[in-house]
Amino acid sequence: MSEAEREQMRAKLDGLSRRLDARTHEFRERGELSDLYQSLMDHIERRRDRLQAKLTSAEAHGTAWDVIKIEFERDFSAIFDDLLELDEKLDADQMKRDHK
């Protein structure tokens, strides 16, 4: 795997981290970070942390980058899907509150 591909993975992960941090801040600011949502955010953040650790370890120790790339894409996609699910739940809850 080329250096550019590794940098692209790192950039995607950094972007996801910024999005997670922004959403967490937004939830807290709006008072929407219930125990359920906090649990989902914690789950997403743990998955992100594992993915970061895997990438860092691969960079430090060298590895079969083709395998890491496949795992990265799979894990990144799953994390993104979890975040979308959380957004959908928040939107649904907001719609319920708006119609009361």
Q: What is the dihedral of CA 53, 55, 61, 67, to 10 degrees?
A: 130
Number of domains composing the chain: 1
pTM: 0.70
In tens, the pLDDT along 69-100 reads 888 888 888 888 888 888 888 778 778 878 86
In tens, the pLDDT along 10-54 reads 898 898 889 888 887 877 787 766 777 778 888 888 988 988 888
List alpha helices for 3-99, DSSP H: 3-30, 35-61, 65-98
Domain limits for position 90: 3-98
